[in-house]
Each structure stands twice: as structure tokens, then as C-alpha cells.
Amino acid sequence: MIKKIIGNKIYIFDKLSSTMDKSKELINNGVSNGTVIVARYQTKGRGSNNRDWISEGNDALFSIILDIDKSKVNLLSIVSAYSVLSMFEDILSNEAINIKWPNDVLVNGKKISGTLIENVIHGNKVKSVVGIGININSRHKSTNNFIYPSVSLIELIGKEFDILTVIEMYLSKFSVYYSKLINNKIDIENISKNLYGLEKKVSFRTNYLNKKNNSNDLYKIINLNKDGTLRVEDSNGDKINLSASEISN
């Protein structure tokens, strides 16, 4: 069963350049599907768009190595984000939890988690590395290290959490939704209901350009497509599918 595969092997390190880098090293040396790499500290942790992921040993930093069909790779980010959202719904009450497409989770509009997907060609196969960062015990109100407004569990609840316990909670959720993904049972329509900015006009950082549109346009978010792309409507009323963008407001 998938539940036994995800996290069946977990490697825990005190310090790494990044769990993504270590995952690629293990892939080259041979590693089983569902292996998880955890680090307390990362010296060169990274998020999407080559941004640094800053942490001082107080957060959940880990990667999952997966064998997955190429047709489903593009859905991994949203499945990972939804797994985080589902976990937080069990922990938090009366908080607005949303997925900021394609890979972030926000609580009350502040970033609490992000996902980075990197694919590795290994022989004739493609392995996907799902890198996750979740703010657990870090302090965000008193530091200027973070690019966007962010928050952690300790700031929301007022008590420290055991990081490995949170990772185990996440892996339990991810196992469920990953199983649904590979068995073509993932409920994209339901996930869409949790999108940040749904039915609202937002701007995007994107390479998508054509004669009718420019990067300063506002787009109304409609829903997620079955392949994980985002359906939006531009100022002319035209429907567009975005596959590589980031919401900027």
C-alpha cells in the first residue's frame, strides 16, 4: 500500500546543504520509492524561483523521493500543498487556510508552507523529489528575513511543536492524497475550493505573454484544471490556462 511506501525509510540529518541535494545524491546511489530526507538545518535551502528558504533549525524541512508517472508530475505541488492544508485543518481552528497556487499554503493570508518539485532522470526513469518547508517554531514577527508576510504554528497557537511529529502528521495526509493521485481519484474540484484568490482578480509573476495580455494584467481565478494548471480569465473575458506562474498579490 502507498501508506507504507511513503516514509517507510526516513533519513534524519542535523545539517545538510539541502534535503533536495541529498535526495539527488541518494537517487544516484539507489534509493527506494517514498524515502524521506529530513534536515534540522539547511545551509543552502531553496524554495521556488531559486529563492532561499531561511530557517534556523526550528521548522520542518524535508523531501520525499517518488517514482511517479510523468503525466501526474505536474499535480504533485498541488497535492503536497493540499496535504499541508488538510493537516492544518486538524490543528487550527477559526483560521483561514488557503492554497496559493501553485505550491504555497497560507494561514490568514500569511505563508506557512511551500513546496518545491525537482525531477531527476535516473537511467530510463524519472524520479520526482518533493521538497517541503513548514514553519513550525520559528519567529516571524520579529525578523526581517522573510520576503513575504509569513507565520508559524507557534505564533498561531502559542506553544512549541515537535517537528518530527508534524512531519509524521504531514506524511500521513500526503500518503492518502498521493494514493488518490496515482489511482486517478484525486478530487481537483474540491481542492479548487481552497484556492487563495478564488473568483477574485489577482496579478501574476509569469512568463505567459501574448499580444492581448501583458504581465501587469489582472486575472480572475476560476479553478484548477485536472492537470494542475490554473484556469483564469483575463480583462478581455478570455479564458487562459496558466502552467508556470506565481500569484503576486
Measuring CA to CA, which residue among 66, 82, 7, 68 is closest to residue 38?
Answer: 7
Report d(CA 145, CA 148) in Å as an integer: 9
Q: The C-alpha cell of 129 is what?
A: 523529489
Q: Do 234 and 131 belong to one domain?
A: no
Residues 107-157 pLDDT 10s: 999 999 999 999 987 666 778 999 999 999 998 876 655 557 899 999 999
Domain that holds residue 239: 201-247
Q: Domain of 127: which CATH number?
A: 3.30.930.10
Instruction: Give the domain CATH number at 217.
Output: 2.30.30
Residue 65 is predicted with a pLDDT of 96
Confidence of residue 209 (pLDDT cuts 50, 70, 90): very low
Asked if residue 124 and residue 92 are part of one domain, the reply reads: yes
Task: State the residue for C-alpha cell 498521493.
Answer: 178
Give the pLDDT confidence score for residue 1 in this predicted structure: 45
Q: What is the pLDDT of residues 79-95, one digit of tens each?
A: 999 999 999 999 998 89
> For residues 194 and 57, what is the distance between their CA atoms, to the nearest angstrom?
30
pLDDT given at position 45: 59
User: What percent of the chain has pLDDT above 70?
Assistant: 83
Residues 150 and 238 placed together within one structural domain of the fold: no
Secondary structure in 3-state letters for 110-161:
EEEEEEEEEEEEECCEEEEEEEEEECCCCCCCCCCCCCCCECCHHHHHCCCC
Mean pLDDT of the chain: 86
Residue 217 near residue 226, CB atoms below 8 Å: no
Do 78 and 175 reside in the same domain of the chain? yes
The 10s digit of each residue's pLDDT in 51-72 is: 555 567 799 999 999 998 888 8
pTM: 0.89
In the predicted model, is pLDDT for residue 206 greater than 90?
Answer: no
Return the percentage of the chain with pLDDT > 90, whole number. Answer: 64
